[in-house]
Amino acid sequence: MTAPEETTFADLGKVLVIIPTYNEAENVERIVSRVRAAVPEVHVLVADDNSPDGTGDIADKLAATDDHVQVMHRKGKEGLGAAYLAGFRWGIDHGYSVLVEMDADGSHQPEELHRLLTALRGADLVQGSRWVPGGKVVNWPKSRLLISRGGSFYSRMMLGVPIKDVTGGYRAFRKETLLGIGMDEVASAGYCFQVDLAWRTVKAGFKVVEVPITFIEREFGASKMSRNILVEALFRVTGWGINSRIQKLTGKTGR
């Protein structure tokens, strides 16, 4: 995939792409290089959860030769959500105006980052979407497709979130959006972390725009998806939806 010729987004302010890693030694150099080539002005933060395979060391070597690359070494594996939240806080503290979520395994195409940043000029959150016209998934079995599409549909119905790909993890936030949604109150760590952030964004009245992306299943390394992550998501989304309906009936507000 060829990067676009026009990659200037200075009007958005400083952009930070956060890439959480755990045992991504086969992928981290490749994905960071692709981000830097696709949109050279953006900065990258690799948030490594003390990977035993040496991912953090590889990231340190990248940072040593590129001042647009930083590394956050975390104590251990605490989940995707915790890594992103730590990255958001780091980015906001260091003066970044746009915070982007991107997987380390190459499933999110860095060459499509310009689409998200372009759309952010008219939005508060841009969701890279597999389920809008033009979006697609490559190399997924039908069972995985069913789980993902079913999860998005169930979350939309339970929470009233008008986002087609509410579980998707390729996103660009404005700093003000993250500061306005109670980011420090987010407790979900796994699959439902993305649902949580999207729901908070919609409830806070921020504008969400979806742009089509091509999601490609990883070529190297092992997927972090597990049954426990899916069960956590199901229970949390169900609980949020029930509580929200009770609050509407009783006239109360809150989570």
Q: Is residue 86 part of a domain?
A: yes
40-62 pLDDT, tens digit per residue, is 999 999 999 999 999 999 999 99
Q: Is residue 1 part of a domain?
A: no
3-43 pLDDT, tens digit per residue, is 444 568 999 999 999 999 999 999 999 999 999 999 999 99
- Report the pLDDT value the prediction gives residue 197, as an integer from 0 to 100: 95
CATH number for the domain that contains residue 124: 3.90.550.10
Number of domains in the chain: 1
Contact yes or no for 233/148 (Cβ under 8 A) = no
Residue 186's φ and ψ, nearest 5 degrees, are -70, 125
210-253 pLDDT, tens digit per residue, is 999 999 986 655 555 556 666 667 777 787 778 877 887 777 66
Q: Is residue 40 part of a domain?
A: yes
150-169 pLDDT, tens digit per residue, is 888 888 888 989 999 999 99
Between strands 15-21 and 98-101, the pairing is parallel
Q: Which residues lie across from 216 on neighbouring strands?
A: 138
Between strands 125-129 and 171-174, the pairing is antiparallel
Q: Is residue 3 part of a domain?
A: no
Q: How far apart are CA 80 and CA 51, in angstroms?
A: 13
On whether the pTM is more than 0.85, the answer is yes
Q: Is residue 35 part of a domain?
A: yes
What residue numbers bound the domain in which 133 lies?
Answer: 12-250
Mean pLDDT computed over every residue of the chain: 89
Q: Is residue 213 part of a domain?
A: yes
